[in-house]
Amino acid sequence: MSVGEWFEQFCKNIRFDEKDLSNLRYRYKQITKRINLEYWNSISEELHSLYVGSYGRGTATHLSDIDMLVILPYTTYLRINNRQGNKQSALLQEVKTALQKTYSTSYIKADGQVVGINFTDGISFEIVPVFENSDGSFLYPDTNNGGSWKTTNPKKEIDEMNTYNNLTNGNLKRLCKMLREWKDEKNVDINGYAIDTLAYNFIRYWENKDKSYIYYDWMTRDFFYYLSKQNENSILFTPGSCNPLYIGKKFNNKANIAYEKAKEAIADETKYPSCAKSEWREIYGTKFPN
């Protein structure tokens, strides 16, 4: 196998199992259907919901935590907002009660900004009830500090990631997924939002951004060099929505170690391929082919 084939196989190895995806989609549809029955007088399993988070952006490698929005009618906002006390908490409790009609035996919580459903197989859904604004953004409840309404625009983030993924020959999302394997393998203190934003910022200006798997060794090396030079106290701006993102984590040292290891692997690829693959596995873990 060539270097390009190593990385192509690695990317295949970190894809989701179709059986797991089928189960996830079924639950998503059942949640959507319940919300539509309660709020829209509809049995649709597709309308008024949206995958968000890393799964929605197409950069997730685990199916343990799924984020989704459920869109409620504006009349519901008017009704809830006329209440006294913590209106946002009242909304979450109402949505929780509705979902219990479908998932009566599952553990369901309602706090902060989400209604969470924990399933016995380890998969959890975090469901945010929202109201759609005229500009495509969403108003969502925050129960903290007495309650308030806040705005989010995940559609812009998803669209921007999709656009640049297409412009980079699919390399952006594959880089994000590869980096999640590194994060898990080395227990790096960096969240998925930061990974996606840093990968997006890097690949936009990387000279080989539209090339194939044969360049993934260089992409790994160059990204970790880029990451090792980031100021951990800096503020990033999320793709599309341009929301400020505070990193505030310690990852420079581990990024630099990965950069040095990537250089070693590249140097060994021609004469000592088995050593090179072992070095790539030190970065990415056992899903990288041996």
pLDDT of 105 higher than 90: no
Which is it for strands 65-71 and 148-152: parallel, antiparallel or unpaired? unpaired
Confidence of residue 122 (pLDDT cuts 50, 70, 90): confident
In sign, the C-alpha dihedral spanning 22, 26, 57, 179 is: negative
Give the per-residue pLDDT at 239.
96
Q: Topology of 18-152 in CATH? A: Beta Polymerase; domain 2 (3.30.460)
Give the per-residue pLDDT at 30.
97
CB contact at 8 A, 38 and 98: yes
pLDDT of 81 higher than 90: yes
Find the helix or strand (DSSP H, E) in which 107 lies.
strand 107-111
pLDDT above 90 covers a percentage of the chain that reads: 91
Confidence of residue 192 (pLDDT cuts 50, 70, 90): very high
Least confident of 121-135, 152-166, 203-217, 241-255: 241-255
Q: Please state the rounded mean pLDDT for residues 1-14.
A: 97
Domain limits, the chain: 18-152, 156-284
- CB-based contacts of 253: which residues, under 8 Å, 6+ apart? none
DSSP, residue by residue, 48-75: TEEEEHHHHHT--S--SEEEEEEE--HH
Q: Average model confidence (pLDDT) for the chain?
A: 95
Confidence of residue 233 (pLDDT cuts 50, 70, 90): confident
Give the per-residue pLDDT at 76.
98
Give the per-residue pLDDT at 9.
98
pLDDT tens for 255-282 read: 999 999 999 999 999 999 999 999 999 9
Among residues 176, 141, 145, 152, which one has the least CA distance to residue 162? 176
pLDDT tens for 148-168 read: 999 999 999 999 999 999 999
Give the per-residue pLDDT at 204.
96
Q: Please state the rounded mean pLDDT for residues 173-196.
A: 96
The backbone region for 268, taken as left when phi is positive above 0, alpha when psi lies in -120 to 50, beta otherwise, is alpha
Give the per-residue pLDDT at 20.
83
User: CA distances (Å), 20 to each of 9, 16, 121, in order?
Assistant: 20, 7, 11
Model's pTM, two decimal places? Answer: 0.94
Helices (H) and strands (E) in the chain, counts: 11, 9
Give the per-residue pLDDT at 191.
92
The total number of residues shown for the chain amounts to 290
Retrieve residue 15's tokens: 């894809």
Give the per-residue pLDDT at 19.
82
User: CA distances (Å), 223 to each of 6, 119, 168, 227, 232, in order?
Assistant: 18, 36, 15, 6, 15
